[in-house]
Structure 1
Amino acid sequence: MMSSALLRQYLYPLLIPFTFCILLLFKWLLSPSTTQKHHHPPPSPPRLPILGNLHQIGSRPHSSLANLSRKHGPLMLLRLGRVPVLVVSSADAAREIMKTHDLIFANRPKSKIFEKLVYDYKDVSMAPYGEYWRQMKSVFVLQLLSNKRVQSFRLVREEEVANLIADIEGLLSSASPTTVNLGERFAALTNDVVCRVALGRKYGGKRFKAILMEFVELLGALSFGDYIPWLAWVDRVSGLDERLDKVAKELDGFLDEVVEEHVEKRMNCEGGVDVQEGKEDFVDILLSIQKDSSVGFSIDKITIKALILDAFAAGTDTTYTALEWAMTELLRHPNAMRQAQAEVRRIAGHKSSITEEDLDQMCYLKAVIKETLRSHPPIPLLIPRESTQDTKVTGYDVAARTRVIVNAWAIGRDPSLWDSPDEFRPERFLNSSINFQGHDFELIPFGAGRRGCPGIAFAIVVDELVLANLLHKFDWRLPDGVGQLDMTESTGLTIHKKFPLIASAAIATL
C-alpha cells in the first residue's frame, strides 16, 4: 500500500485543482444565468454544463429548433455555450420582435464568421444598428433596390431569361425529351443578372461559383469560439478558421479586381470624365459617392467591397434558391404544374415569350411563389438579431444582449396558422391577402422591420419572369426512372437542395 508520505507527495497536490473544477461545475449548474435573474424568463429545455443546448442543434437547425419549440413553446430560451438565445417560432412573437419592439431588436450579434467574411461588419446585412448602417442602407436601397432602379434593370432581366430559354431550346427537340440541370442554370442566370446590374458585366467560372457556394455555407456554420471562447481551438482543429481565411482572401481578391477595373475604366473615359450618367452600375455609383464630399458621409474601398459583396451574394443565392424549390415542388405536384402552365399559356396567347407586363395577371403563378417561400424560405432562420435592452416579449422577460433567432420555416409550417402545412397547396393563397412584404408575420421569408431584406422586389420579379417563361416554352416532368425527387436540404445560411435538380423537358407545342 502507498505510504502516507507518498500520498501527501503525489495525490494531495492533485486534489486542489480537482476540487476547484468540481466547485466551478457546481457554480455553473446552480448559479442563475443572466436571463434567469429576471422573474419570468421564457421556458427553456434542460441543458448540459458548458455546452448548454448546443448538443440539441442538429444538422438542420431550423427543424431541430422547431421540434424543441413544440415541446417548450413558441418563445423559447436556449443557452448556446455562454450565449442566451431566444428562439421565436410563432407569428405573434415574431410581430413583437420585428414590429412592436423592432428598435430594441434591430442590432446584430458579433460573430467571428461574419467578422472575417463581411469586412468586419462593414456591409448592410451585419453592420451594427446605428448611423453607419442607416447611411449604407440608404445608399444600397436608393442606388440598387428602389422600385425605380429595379424597373430600370428590366432589359437585363429579359435578355438573360431569353438566353436561358434559348440555351434549353438548344438542348431539346420536340420529339425527344432531354434532361436539364435546372439548379445549375438557375444559379448561372441569377449570377449573370446580378453581375450585370451591380458590377457592370458578367463574371463567372466554376471556381468563382464554388467560392461563392462555400461563402454561403460558412455563413451558416457553427463557431465554437463564438459560444464558448475557451474552446476556440476547436475551430482551428476542425479547419473552420482555415476555410474562413481562404474564402475571405479569395473573395477579397475578386472584389479588388472588380473595383480596380471600374477605377481604370473611369480614368480612361474621355477627358477623365466619369462614366455617362444612366450607364453607371452599382460599383460606379459607389465610386462616385466616394469622391463626392457633399453627400454628408464618406466611404472607403473596404466599404465599397462590403456593399458589392452584399449585393452579389444575397441577390444571387436567395433568388435562385427560391426558383429551385418552386420547380422542385411543381415537378412533385403535376396538377399544380398543369394549372400554372394553363394560366401562363392562356395569358401569353400567341406571344413567343412572357414579358413583365404579363406577370400581374398570373395569380396562380404568384401563389406558387408564395407557397414555395412558405414551405422553403431561402434563409429559414433569417439573420440573427440581438436585444439592446431589457424588455418583455409575449409576457416573458428578455434580457439585454440576448441573441434572437426567428424561425421563419417553423412559422410557415405552424398548424395553427395553416391548414395542412406540410402539403404544397398554392390554392391557399388565391383568395388570401397574405403577402411576404413584412406586414403579415405568418409569412416572413424576407424578415420584417428595419432589418427586413430590402431586395424583395428585385428577387421576386426575377423568380416570376423565369418561372413563367419556363412553363410557357416547355413541358416538364421527372426524368425516366425517377419515382420521386430527393428533398434533402443542404447546410448553410441559405438552404438549397442538396442534390441537383434534374428534370426532363420537351419544347411545348403552343
Structure 2
Amino acid sequence: MASLQWLKECSKPTLLVVTIFLAVVLKFLMQEKLKRRKLNLPPGPAKLPIIGNLHQLGNMPHISLRELAKKYEEYKEKFAYSSCSVPSVSTGYNFVREEEVARLIRRIAESYPGTTNLSKMIGLYANDVLCRVALGTDFSGGGEYDRHGFQKMLDDYQALLGGFSLGDYFPSMEFVHSLTGMKSKLRYTFRRFDQFFDEVITEHRNSKGKQEEKKDLVDILLDIQKDGSSEIPLTMDNIKAVILDMFAAGTDTTFIILDWAMTELIMNPNAMEKAQDEVRGVVGDRKVVQESDLPRLNYMKAVIKEIFRLHPPSPVLLPRESLEDVIIDGYNIPAKTRIYVNVWGMGRDPELWENPETFEPERFIGSGIDFKGQDFELIPFGAGRRSCPAITFGTAAIEIALAQLLHSFDWKLPPGLEAMDVDNTEAFGISMHRTVPLHVVAKPHFD
C-alpha cells in the first residue's frame, strides 16, 4: 500500500506537466487554425509548437524543401530575390586571368603521367585570381597562402555561415551559441581575418605611385575613403567587410562550377568530345585560348549553364524578408516572413525541365535561357535589384579556364576507376562543395 501511495504521489507532477503540455499544444493549434481562417496563407505542412517546421529540414535542407514542395504543388515561387554583397570588379583586369590560367595549366601538366588532384588545382586558381584582383597579392606563389592559413580561414568562415544557427530563428535563445562554442569560433575566425586585412591595408597605404590600371580592389576602396566621393562615409570596417564578402562569394562560385563542369564532362565522354572539338576547332593550333575566342564557344557555354542548373553554388539563395504585408496569387504573405528560394530544386523541377536529373548541355543549344537573372527557371545568382553583381567577373573567370582545360589536355579517370565509381557526395552549406576531390589523369594535348 505504501509503494502504491508513493507511485500515486509521484505521478501527480507528471500528469500536471502532461496536462500543461497538451493545453499549450491545443492552444497553439487553435491559434494556427484561427490565423489561417483570418489570413489566406499559402498551403504548407502542419507546424509543431515553438520549433515550427524546423524538424522537417534535415541535414540537406534543399532536398527536404523540394520534397515538401512536391506535396504543395498549388503554391509556386512567383518571385525571387537574393542577397549578394560582392562588389562589381573591373573585368578589364584580363592579364590576371590569363596569367593564372597559364599557371593552372603548368601545375596540372607537371603531374603527368601520374594523377592530379584537379579539385585542388581549380581551388588554387579561383583563390589566386581573386587574391590578385582584390588584394594585388600572389598568395600561392609567394608562400603567403600557407603562412596565413588562408584556405583554412575561408573554409571555417563558409562552415560558420552555412551552418544551422538557432539564434537566427529564435533570438531569445542566442545564449545557446555560447554553450555550443559557436560564438567563440565566430570571434576567433573574424579576429584572424581582421588581423590579415590589417596587414594588407597597411601594405597598400605604404605603397606609392601605383599605376591606375594596376590598382586592385583595396586600392580603389582606400581611394574612395580618402577623397570622400561616396555618398555614405566608408569606414575601415566597411572596407574589410567588402573584401571578406568578395572572398566568401567570389572564390566559391568559380571553384564549384569549374569542379563540377570537369566532373560531369569526364563522366560523360560524348559531351567531353563535343566540348573539346568545339574549342580546338575555334582555337586551332594556338596553345593559348584568348578571350576573343569565347563568344564562339556555344556548346561550352551550354555546359556551363547546365552546371548552374544541376549544381548551383548556393543551393538555397540567401534569405530575404518581406518588409510589409503583401498578397501574391491571392495568398497573404505577412510582414517579416523569411523567404528562401530553392534554386537547386527549381533546377530539377520536371515541370520546368525535361529529364531534369540528367546532364544534357544540348537543352541550352538554341535556347534563350540564361543565368543572368532574367529567366526565373535558372537564377543561381538571384534576380532583381539584389542579384549578385559579380556575375560578369565570375563568368569570365570560369569560361577562360574551362576552355583552356579542354584545349590543353585529354582527360580520363585514374586506372581502374569508372564513372559510376566517382563519389559526388555534396556537403550542404551556404555553398555546396563536393566532399571528395576529383582525381584525374591529364595527358597534355600539345607536346
For normalisation by structure 1, the TM-score amounts to 0.80
1:263 aligns with 2:199: no
Q: How does 1:304-323 map to 2 (within 5 A)?
A: 304-323=239-258
- How much identity, in percent, do the aligned residues show? 45
SS in 2 for 1:31: helix
Q: How does 1:467-486 map to 2 (within 5 A)?
A: 467-483=402-418, 484=420, 485-486=422-423
**Unaligned runs of at least 5 residues, structure 1:** 76-89, 99-105, 109-123, 126-136
For residue 198 of structure 1, what is the aligned residue in structure 2?
Answer: 134
Which residue identity does 1:381 align to in structure 2?
Answer: V
Range with greater deviation from structure 2 (391-400 or 11-20):
11-20
1:506 aligns with 2:443: yes
- CA distance in 2 between counterparts of 1:33 and 1:299 reads 49
Q: Assess, with a 3 A threshold, how the Cα gap between structure 1 residues 393 and 225 changes in structure 2: closer, same or farther.
A: same
Q: How does 1:29-428 map to 2 (within 5 A)?
A: 29-32=29-32, 36=36, 38-73=38-73, 75=75, 90=76, 93-94=77-78, 96-98=79-81, 125=85, 140-141=87-88, 144=89, 149-150=90-91, 152-172=92-112, 177-203=113-139, 204-205=145-146, 207-265=149-207, 269=208, 275-428=210-363
Which residue identity does 1:161 align to in structure 2?
Answer: V
1:293 deviates by: 2.9
For normalisation by structure 2, the TM-score amounts to 0.91
Residues 330 and 336 in structure 1, CA contact (< 8 A), matched pair in contact too: yes
SS in 1 for 2:126: helix
- RMSD between aligned residues: 2.6
1:74 deviates by: 6.4
Which residue identity does 2:424 align to in structure 1?
Answer: M
SS in 2 for 1:178: coil
For residue 80 of structure 1, what is the aligned residue in structure 2?
Answer: none
- CA distance in 1 between counterparts of 2:237 and 2:219 reads 15
SS in 2 for 1:457: helix
Which residue identity does 1:499 align to in structure 2?
Answer: V
SS in 1 for 2:339: strand
1:235 deviates by: 3.4
Range with greater deviation from structure 2 (9-18 or 346-355):
9-18
1:63 deviates by: 0.9
For residue 142 of structure 2, what is the aligned residue in structure 1?
Answer: none
Range with greater deviation from structure 2 (474-483 or 290-299):
290-299
Residues 366 and 464 in structure 1, CA contact (< 8 A), matched pair in contact too: yes
Residues 109 and 442 in structure 2, CA contact (< 8 A), matched pair in contact too: no
Which residue identity does 1:341 align to in structure 2?
Answer: Q
Residues 108 and 121 in structure 2, CA contact (< 8 A), matched pair in contact too: no
Residues 107 and 121 in structure 2, CA contact (< 8 A), matched pair in contact too: no
Q: Assess, with a 3 A threshold, how the Cα gap between structure 1 residues 10 and 349 changes in structure 2: closer, same or farther.
A: closer
For residue 491 of structure 1, what is the aligned residue in structure 2?
Answer: 428
- CA distance in 1 between counterparts of 2:360 and 2:24 reads 54
Which residue identity does 1:505 align to in structure 2?
Answer: A
Q: Assess, with a 3 A threshold, how the Cα gap between structure 1 residues 397 and 371 changes in structure 2: closer, same or farther.
A: same
SS in 2 for 1:340: helix
1:213 deviates by: 1.3
**2:371 aligned to which of 412, 419, 436:** 436
Larger relative contact order (CA 8 Å, sep ≥ 6): 2
- CA distance in 1 between counterparts of 2:367 and 2:432 reads 27
1:15 deviates by: 7.8
- CA distance in 2 between counterparts of 1:10 and 1:71 reads 44
SS in 2 for 1:24: helix
1:36 deviates by: 3.3
1:278 deviates by: 2.6
Task: Give per-residue Cα distances to partners, 1:160-212, cap 9 Å, x unaligned.
Answer: 0011111222222xxxx321111111111111111111111123228210120
Range with greater deviation from structure 2 (317-326 or 30-39):
30-39
